[in-house]
Chains A and B, each alone.
Chain A
Amino acid sequence: MRETILIKNGEIALKGLNRKNFEDALVKNIRDRIYDLGEFKYIKSQSTVMVEPLSPGIDLDEAFERLKKVFGIAALSRAVACEKDMNEILHYTCVFLKDSLMAAKTFKVEAKRSDKKFPLKSPEISAETGAKILEEFPHLTVDVHNPDIIVMVEIRDREAFIHGEQVKGAGGIPVGTGGKAMLLISGGIDSPVAGYMIAKRGISITAVHFASPPYTSELAEQKVHRLLKKVSEYSGRIKLYTVPFTELQEAIRAHCPEELFTLVMRRLMMKISCVLAEKEDCKALVTGESLGQVASQTLGALQCTDDASVLPVLRPLIGMDKDEIVTISRKIETFDISIEPFEDCCTVFTPRHPRLKPDLKRVIQAEEKVLSAFPEDILIKTAEASKVLEIG
């Protein structure tokens, strides 16, 4: 029995002349995600990618789980491939779907015939397959409206495929087709979700984290590594820059009015991120900010931080409530990691009464005062002193 995984392209089928680029990117991403499981053959045809294992003993369960997280896939299913011959089709239907048919009470058969030369028409294929199933599994009855299992028979150009129900894919657009962006990640709940959402729209992610030991713990850095590992199951490999931020943060504490600590800190983070973004050819910054969630995320505060970035700042969570963000973070399994209690760069030196309606001019003055304590190229030097790590 030749088992395969059938992958239905998502939005990429709509992309006109770019379609080939998108399909190539999808196949590359699929390959990157499962290459370590063994050798596969990839066949692109009719808005479908067929992933067929070449060597025996490949863990298809694991491959299937991983592919559920690849963007650009609308739906996927485990299938068996066979000759376009009705006897073969009937035989493999009963063998391949035995477990699910045994567990079901009702079923229906759907047939699709893209090879119009096949002697039977779709309704005839359905009828014949249905009759065979009823004969082999007498406990089943047909229910065309609300069946427990839908048996799909597809007659394609080269061969036939039989599969049970399709599973919804991760949706979105293949990562990498939309360029690169730089994700600012703290270790909280929001930033991994922001990274996930941007990757979903086809952007590959580079990440930057600010570490301020001893105010922040090594455990906080390790937490970021584990968060990005989870995000990378969707986005693919992520390069992480960890910026040594202690000196700048201490200077902020020494030279800024307390109410502006957070804003000046965020502006410096933006500027350093832009330095790294340029180096990495990233076209935008990404943050997990959501409007009104904390004092540094009011409209006025966002104006102050935006002003520090020469690149557009993408904020995919901007209009979301906390519980909506939490729902996604649970889905991508970052929530339990995010809530581990280690100090991160955003929680040190938190002002008691942060400014809710900051004045941009005053913030810029405060920032200039901080920077005047350092040589002119301090931000570039700080960015260059980052540790680099590939994750995923």
Chain B
Amino acid sequence: MNIYLDTSATTAVCKVAADAAYSVMTEFYGNPSSIHKKGIEARNILENSRESVASLLGVSPEEIYFTHGGTESNNTAIFGAVNKGKRYGNRIVTTSVEHPSVKEPMKVLEAQGYEVIWLKADKYGDFSVEELYNAVDKRTILVSIMAVNNEVGTILKTEQAAAAIRAAGAPALLHVDGVQAFGKLKINPSRFGIDLMSMSAHKLHGPKGVGALYIKKGTGILPISFGGGQERAMFPGTEAMPAIAGFGAAVKACGDIEHNFYKVANLNGILRSGLGSIRDVYINSPANALPYILNISVKGIPSQVLVNFLSERGIYISAGSACKKGKRSEVLTAMGLPPALIDSAVRISLSRFNTENEMYATLNAIEDAVKRLRL
């Protein structure tokens, strides 16, 4: 039995995406920059993938740039925006619950002398709108906020950010780390006032090693690496065609966002109500979190132990977030959880391919764990 509930770490590549990648590796292997037939084939696949990603977001294909993953998207968005805006000001606003691929670039900028304002998290893992309005001023050149938190699933109030920027008359660009939200939540960047949005393929049943950055037309941020001019010189280097083809196919296959949302919300509901009747289980995700992510603590069972116990039974979940092995979660700390709950926090993350039976099996296994392992 294999019940994979760690989709926020990564997902299995769906068959159409794997097939698309395979055909690019073995048949349509041309370089999209070549002018012969093989090159043209590849170029068509590249642009088809771009259109798929664009249409899922409701933006134009010229606004989608392929990257080598979420981390590269975030880094380029942040450094690119700051390089562009530095003559207007010195302040950057972000939150204290961002993914390391936002947090670490921010720390680099802080060390370079930029003033980085870290919005605190409340007990839901969201920021306070008042604090946001106070933080954004006339000298603010970048606001970077994640759409959905990767550890607890909180949907942050990103829609407030554009208004705060307007109210302050700030020259700031708005960047949204959309890696956990992409394909799971309807976010139309132009309607949200978003200038830059990061995405990744492998959280949505696409291959690893490819992502995208939405750059609103006319934004004109500067690249951070330089080379052969691919992706309109924003992300130079020969395109990772097998991964990009898989990305496009995965996006096309993901179907209706809302339909999937309700399907997963139903699975999430089964877990929540089942867990509610197991003693010493605490649900850390807020009630209105993205249903794809459910963070819980089983008091008295360290995270790693519960992960191991379930792993032996073929159920795969995550101790906190897979990206930060061994460190106490900053997000849960910021949310004000006591250390005993942080040390026992685990993340269950779902996909549209999971089933109700898998949820019941998981509940049974967690109940067993409590019976056997709790100290």
Binding site for B on A (CB under 8 A): 213-218, 253, 340-343, 348-349
A343 and B375 form a contact (CB under 8 A): no
Q: Does B52 make an interface contact (CB < 8 A)?
A: no
A343 and B373 form a contact (CB under 8 A): no
Known interface pairs A214-B311, A342-B304; 14 further A-B residue pairs with C-beta atoms within 8 A, sorted by A's residue number: A213-B308, A214-B305, A214-B308, A214-B373, A215-B308, A217-B304, A217-B307, A253-B375, A341-B325, A341-B326, A343-B302, A343-B304, A343-B305, A349-B375
Can you list 22 residue pairs at the A/B interface with Cβ under 8 Å?
A213-B308, A213-B312, A214-B305, A214-B308, A214-B309, A214-B312, A214-B373, A215-B373, A216-B308, A217-B304, A217-B307, A217-B308, A218-B311, A340-B326, A341-B325, A341-B326, A342-B304, A343-B302, A343-B304, A343-B305, A348-B305, A349-B375
**Residues of B contacting A213 with CB < 8 Å?**
308, 312
Contact with A along B269-310 (1 / 0, CB 8 A): 000000000000000000000000000000000101111110
Looking at the assembled complex, report how far the CB atom of B369 sits from the nearest CB atom of chain A, in whole angstroms: 8
Residue tally, chain B, CB below 8 Å to A? 13
Looking at the assembled complex, report how far the CB atom of A188 sits from the nearest CB atom of chain B, in whole angstroms: 14
Looking at the assembled complex, report how far the CB atom of A336 sits from the nearest CB atom of chain B, in whole angstroms: 14
Looking at the assembled complex, report how far the CB atom of A128 sits from the nearest CB atom of chain B, in whole angstroms: 59
Interface centre among B304, B305, B309, B373 (most CB of A within 10 A): B304
Cα distance A215–B309 in the bound complex, in angstroms: 8
Residue of A at shortest CB range from B327?
Answer: A341
Cα distance A74–B288 in the bound complex, in angstroms: 69
**Residues of A contacting B373 with CB < 8 Å?**
214-215
Looking at the assembled complex, report how far the CB atom of A348 sits from the nearest CB atom of chain B, in whole angstroms: 7
Residue of A at shortest CB range from B312?
Answer: A214
Interface centre among B308, B309, B312, B326 (most CB of A within 10 A): B308
Interface centre among B305, B307, B312, B375 (most CB of A within 10 A): B305
Looking at the assembled complex, report how far the CB atom of B34 sits from the nearest CB atom of chain A, in whole angstroms: 40
Contact with A along B359-375 (1 / 0, CB 8 A): 00000000000000101
Cα distance A191–B230 in the bound complex, in angstroms: 52
Residue of A at shortest CB range from B310?
Answer: A214
Binding site for A on B (CB under 8 A): 302, 304-309, 311-312, 325-326, 373, 375
Cα distance A218–B316 in the bound complex, in angstroms: 14
Cα distance A340–B326 in the bound complex, in angstroms: 8
* Closest 6 pairs (CB-CB, A-B): A341-B326, A214-B308, A214-B309, A217-B308, A343-B304, A215-B305
Residue of B at shortest CB range from A343?
Answer: B304
Looking at the assembled complex, report how far the CB atom of B307 sits from the nearest CB atom of chain A, in whole angstroms: 8
Looking at the assembled complex, report how far the CB atom of B118 sits from the nearest CB atom of chain A, in whole angstroms: 25
Cα distance A348–B373 in the bound complex, in angstroms: 11
**Residues of B contacting A253 with CB < 8 Å?**
375
**Residues of A contacting B308 with CB < 8 Å?**
213-218
Cα distance A212–B315 in the bound complex, in angstroms: 19
**Residues of A contacting B306 with CB < 8 Å?**
214
**Residues of B contacting A215 with CB < 8 Å?**
305, 308, 373
**Residues of B contacting A340 with CB < 8 Å?**
326
Residue of A at shortest CB range from B303?
Answer: A343
Looking at the assembled complex, report how far the CB atom of B274 sits from the nearest CB atom of chain A, in whole angstroms: 21
Residue of B at shortest CB range from A216?
Answer: B308
Looking at the assembled complex, report how far the CB atom of B312 sits from the nearest CB atom of chain A, in whole angstroms: 6
Cα distance A340–B312 in the bound complex, in angstroms: 22
Residue of A at shortest CB range from B369?
Answer: A214
**Residues of A contacting B326 with CB < 8 Å?**
340-341
Looking at the assembled complex, report how far the CB atom of B322 sits from the nearest CB atom of chain A, in whole angstroms: 13
**Residues of A contacting B311 with CB < 8 Å?**
214, 218
Cα distance A40–B250 in the bound complex, in angstroms: 56
Residue of A at shortest CB range from B309?
Answer: A214
**Residues of B contacting A218 with CB < 8 Å?**
308, 311
**Residues of B contacting A217 with CB < 8 Å?**
304, 307-308
Cα distance A218–B307 in the bound complex, in angstroms: 11
**Residues of B contacting A216 with CB < 8 Å?**
308
Cα distance A47–B312 in the bound complex, in angstroms: 56
Residue of B at shortest CB range from A339?
Answer: B326
Cα distance A341–B319 in the bound complex, in angstroms: 12
Cα distance A215–B305 in the bound complex, in angstroms: 5
**Residues of B contacting A348 with CB < 8 Å?**
305
Looking at the assembled complex, report how far the CB atom of B121 sits from the nearest CB atom of chain A, in whole angstroms: 24
Cα distance A213–B304 in the bound complex, in angstroms: 11
Looking at the assembled complex, report how far the CB atom of B259 sits from the nearest CB atom of chain A, in whole angstroms: 37
Looking at the assembled complex, report how far the CB atom of A310 sits from the nearest CB atom of chain B, in whole angstroms: 33
Cα distance A340–B302 in the bound complex, in angstroms: 17
Looking at the assembled complex, report how far the CB atom of A281 sits from the nearest CB atom of chain B, in whole angstroms: 35
**Residues of B contacting A341 with CB < 8 Å?**
325-326
Cα distance A218–B310 in the bound complex, in angstroms: 13
Cα distance A216–B304 in the bound complex, in angstroms: 8
**Residues of A contacting B325 with CB < 8 Å?**
341
Cα distance A348–B305 in the bound complex, in angstroms: 9
**Residues of A contacting B309 with CB < 8 Å?**
214
Residue of B at shortest CB range from A349?
Answer: B375
Cα distance A146–B307 in the bound complex, in angstroms: 61
Looking at the assembled complex, report how far the CB atom of B327 sits from the nearest CB atom of chain A, in whole angstroms: 8
Looking at the assembled complex, report how far the CB atom of A167 sits from the nearest CB atom of chain B, in whole angstroms: 37
Looking at the assembled complex, report how far the CB atom of B360 sits from the nearest CB atom of chain A, in whole angstroms: 21
Cα distance A214–B308 in the bound complex, in angstroms: 5
Looking at the assembled complex, report how far the CB atom of A194 sits from the nearest CB atom of chain B, in whole angstroms: 24
**Residues of A contacting B312 with CB < 8 Å?**
213-214
Cα distance A33–B136 in the bound complex, in angstroms: 64
Residue of B at shortest CB range from A250?
Answer: B372
Looking at the assembled complex, report how far the CB atom of B134 sits from the nearest CB atom of chain A, in whole angstroms: 38
Cα distance A340–B325 in the bound complex, in angstroms: 9
Cα distance A253–B300 in the bound complex, in angstroms: 14
**Residues of A contacting B302 with CB < 8 Å?**
343
Cα distance A218–B304 in the bound complex, in angstroms: 11
Looking at the assembled complex, report how far the CB atom of A228 sits from the nearest CB atom of chain B, in whole angstroms: 22
Cα distance A335–B302 in the bound complex, in angstroms: 25
Looking at the assembled complex, report how far the CB atom of A18 sits from the nearest CB atom of chain B, in whole angstroms: 49
Cα distance A124–B325 in the bound complex, in angstroms: 65
**Residues of A contacting B375 with CB < 8 Å?**
253, 349
Looking at the assembled complex, report how far the CB atom of B166 sits from the nearest CB atom of chain A, in whole angstroms: 45
Residue of B at shortest CB range from A347?
Answer: B302
Looking at the assembled complex, report how far the CB atom of B374 sits from the nearest CB atom of chain A, in whole angstroms: 11
Residue of A at shortest CB range from B302?
Answer: A343
